[in-house]
């Protein structure tokens, strides 16, 4: 296809409750949506970058800048573009994977809509629904945590992940085991908040039968994650560290992770995400699909990705109402602990224009030169 135009839309959506991680508290999600146009066809891609560079070095205004000045013109100036060639066309720009992923998704969505093919069919997904896990932020108190987790279990979520940080680590896990028993699938996510000097904390966590410990150490501490993995029995899962299939191959080879969190945005796109899935399957490493507080656009695409056969652990694919009172697409729903894999053409249902307009705070457009 020839791309005719790219529109960048910033949406601002209040969260139903504050979401606290080891790196900060979010009360509103500001997200960038990329709208690609070719002839009469359109496609949407959601960028996972947050407003500030706290989870990753990429952040919303930085993404807008790099797309506007560099990545957008490279795609708009190309004679032909397909989703499968976006990665190669944008390769000269170093890094900026979240920006590239959003562009690739917009092109892929357009391509699939034009062909009348669902993302699940394109990927070769093998399931029509995926188990729904929920990520629970750091709470003001242990009692609050137990109450919030109880609410999610009542709603049917099949796996609980809690955020931890130094000082909010063993006690909350113990409290959840005491309240809900050893049977609930439970895992923790440190978002890089610890060092190897905290190994004793992780040894204590070993007694609680967690599914995994996610990203305990710094993003670039692959070697130290391998050391930690040798010291504890709970499986170590990497998130932030896995920025590409190459990084995944290194982490697996070094024994730094026996489980991988796959987020398409973090690794530069859904096609790289599938390569990581394939690599993990070939190496007997389990994967699950991470979440970044996506709107229905990214959330639906994640559900299709998570329906690939190697995604053997429940992902952070919750219902829209876990974060948003009103989504911009028809809401993603949880039913019997699962989320349906979208079967319509493209990567997600189209946003509903009135709902999208109501939350749009900024728009910019660029067209083919
Ligand atoms: O369900 O969408 C969700 C959120 C899952 O906890 C979640 N995401 O580190 O994985 C993470 C975390 C995150 C959220 C990271 C926001 C960055 C920003």
Pick the catalytic residue from 29, 97, 263, 299: 263
- Rounded to the nearest 5 percent, the helix, strand and coil shares of the chain are 40, 25, 40
Establish whether residue 288 lines the binding site of ligand 1, counting it when its CB lies within 6 angstroms of any ligand atom: no
For residue 190, report the phi and psi dihedrals to the nearest 5 degrees.
-95, -10
53 C-alpha to ligand 1 centroid (Å) = 14
> 158 CB contacts (<8 Å, ≥6 apart)?
131, 132, 133, 185, 314, 337, 338
> Residue 134: helix, strand or coil by DSSP?
strand
Q: Is the predicted pLDDT of residue 369 greater than 90, yes or no?
A: no
154 pLDDT band, cuts 50/70/90, is very high
Mean pLDDT for the stretch of residues 131-151: 98
Mean pLDDT for the stretch of residues 207-235: 97
Establish whether residue 191 lines the binding site of ligand 1, counting it when its CB lies within 6 angstroms of any ligand atom: yes
Write down the pLDDT at residue 49.
98
CB 201 within 8 A of CB 169: yes
Nearest CA to ligand 1 atom 15: 292
CA distances from 66 to 62, 266, 268 (A): 6, 16, 14
Nearest CA to ligand 1 atom 13: 292
CB 147 within 8 A of CB 175: no
Establish whether residue 219 lines the binding site of ligand 1, counting it when its CB lies within 6 angstroms of any ligand atom: no
251 pLDDT band, cuts 50/70/90, is very high
Write down the pLDDT at residue 12.
98
Nearest to 113 by CA among 342, 357, 295: 342
Mean pLDDT for the stretch of residues 184-201: 97
For residue 111, report the phi and psi dihedrals to the nearest 5 degrees.
-60, -40
What's the longest Cα–Cα distance across the chain? 63
Q: How far apart (Å, rounded) are the C-alpha atoms in residues 130 and 305? A: 10
- Per-residue pLDDT of 329-361, as tens digits, reads 999 999 999 999 999 999 999 999 999 999 999
27 C-alpha to ligand 1 centroid (Å) = 13
Calculate Rg over the CA atoms of the chain: 20
Tokens coding 4: 């005719």
Establish whether residue 160 lines the binding site of ligand 1, counting it when its CB lies within 6 angstroms of any ligand atom: no
Q: Is the predicted pLDDT of residue 22 greater than 90, yes or no?
A: no
Q: How far apart (Å, rounded) are the C-alpha atoms in residues 311 and 241? A: 19
Which value, to the nearest 10 degrees, does the dihedral of the CA atoms of residues 273, 275, 279, 281 take?
70
Please say if 263 is a catalytic residue: yes
Task: Tell me the β-bridge partners of 45.
Answer: 34
pTM beyond 0.95:
yes
CB 160 within 8 A of CB 152: yes
Complete domains list, the chain, with CATH: 5-116+353-367 (3.30.390.10), 120-340 (3.20.20.120)
Q: How far apart (Å, rounded) are the C-alpha atoms in residues 34 and 28? A: 19
What are the E-state strand segments in the chain? 5-21, 24-38, 41-47, 129-131, 133-136, 159-163, 186-189, 213-214, 236-238, 259-262, 286-289, 334-335, 338-340, 360-367
Average pLDDT, the chain: 97
Q: How far apart (Å, rounded) are the C-alpha atoms in residues 33 and 37? A: 13
Q: How far apart (Å, rounded) are the C-alpha atoms in residues 216 and 192? A: 5
316 C-alpha to ligand 1 centroid (Å) = 8
Let me know if 148 is exposed, middle or buried by CB neighbors in 10 A (0-12, 13-18, 19+): middle
Q: Which atom of ligand 1 is nearest to the CA of 294?
A: 2
Q: How far apart (Å, rounded) are the C-alpha atoms in residues 202 and 190? A: 11
Mean pLDDT for the stretch of residues 191-211: 97
- Per-residue pLDDT of 269-282, as tens digits, reads 999 999 999 999 99
- Per-residue pLDDT of 71-112, as tens digits, reads 999 999 999 999 999 999 999 999 999 999 999 999 999 999
């Amino acid at each position: 296809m020839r791309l005719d135009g790219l529109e960048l839309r910033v949406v601002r959506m209040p969260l139903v409750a504050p979401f606290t991680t080891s790196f900060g508290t979010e009360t509103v999600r500001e997200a960038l949506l990329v709208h690609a146009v070719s002839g009469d066809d359109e496609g949407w891609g959601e960028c996972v970058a947050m407003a500030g560079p706290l989870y990753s070095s990429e952040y919303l205004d930085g993404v807008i800048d790099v797309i506007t000045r560099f990545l957008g013109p490279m795609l708009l100036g190309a004679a032909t573009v397909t989703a499968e060639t976006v990665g190669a066309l944008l390769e000269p720009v170093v890094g900026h994977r979240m920006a590239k992923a959003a562009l690739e998704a917009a092109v892929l969505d357009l391509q699939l809509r034009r062909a009348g093919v669902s993302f699940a069919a394109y990927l070769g997904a093998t399931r029509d629904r995926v188990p729904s896990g929920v990520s629970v932020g750091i709470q003001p108190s242990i009692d609050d945590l137990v109450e919030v987790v109880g609410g999610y279990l009542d709603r049917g979520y099949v796996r609980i992940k809690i955020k931890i940080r130094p000082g909010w680590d063993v006690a909350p896990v113990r409290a959840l085991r005491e309240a809900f028993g050893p049977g609930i699938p439970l895992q923790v996510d440190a978002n890089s908040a610890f060092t190897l000097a905290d190994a004793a904390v992780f040894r204590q966590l070993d007694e609680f039968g967690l599914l995994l410990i996610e990203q305990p150490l710094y993003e670039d501490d692959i070697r130290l994650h391998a050391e930690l993995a040798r010291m504890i029995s709970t499986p170590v899962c990497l998130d932030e560290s896995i920025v590409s299939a190459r990084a995944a191959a290194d982490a697996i080879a070094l024994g730094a992770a026996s489980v991988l969190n796959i987020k398409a945005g973090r690794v530069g796109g859904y096609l790289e995400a599938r390569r990581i899935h394939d690599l993990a399957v070939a190496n007997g490493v389990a994967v699950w699909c991470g979440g970044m507080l996506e709107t229905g656009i990214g959330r639906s695409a994640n559900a299709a990705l998570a329906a690939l056969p190697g995604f053997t652990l429940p992902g952070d694919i919750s219902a829209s109402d876990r974060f948003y009172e009103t989504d911009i697409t028809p809401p993603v729903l949880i039913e019997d602990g699962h989320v349906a894999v979208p079967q319509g053409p493209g990567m997600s249902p189209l946003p509903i224009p009135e709902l999208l307009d109501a939350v749009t705070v900024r728009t910019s457009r660029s067209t083919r030169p």
